[in-house]
Amino acid sequence: MSSVFKALSDPTRRRVLELLRKGPQPAGALADGFDVSKPTMSAHFAVLKEAGLVTTERKGKQVIYHLQMSVLEDALYGFAKTFGWELRDKQAREDGPAGMEANRP
């Protein structure tokens, strides 16, 4: 869970994840949307991959990035449980924080 939140702590990495919500994209296309060097973007991609938030697929010379939403969901669920919040059911997970309630004895 720590590696997920470390990855999410940077606005560039959060933006990469937002872009990947639209579907898999090549590293070059993703990097072109940012005003940073290719090595810097490569480092951001490595952090996201280490956290399990993205997976990669090689197509020729291209590296295609895919969002792993389930990893983010699991981390958020674990974080919520740490503070005594339980999700009622799968629908509550899809509804977001409003679907959570305090776990009171």
Tell me the pairing of strands 54-59 and 25-26: unpaired
Q: What is the reported pTM?
A: 0.73
Average pLDDT, the chain: 83
C-alpha dist (Å) from residue 2 to 16, 62, 101: 19, 29, 23
Q: Reduced to 3 DSSP states, what percent helix, strand and coil does the chain have, rounded to the nearest 5?
A: 55, 20, 25
Domain 2-67 matching CATH 1.10.10.10: the answer reads yes
Could you state, in order of their start, the residue ranges of all structural domains in the chain?
A: 2-67, 70-102
24-73 pLDDT, tens digit per residue, is 999 999 999 999 999 999 999 999 999 999 999 999 999 999 999 888 78
Structure confidence at residue 102 (pLDDT): 43
Structure confidence at residue 93 (pLDDT): 53
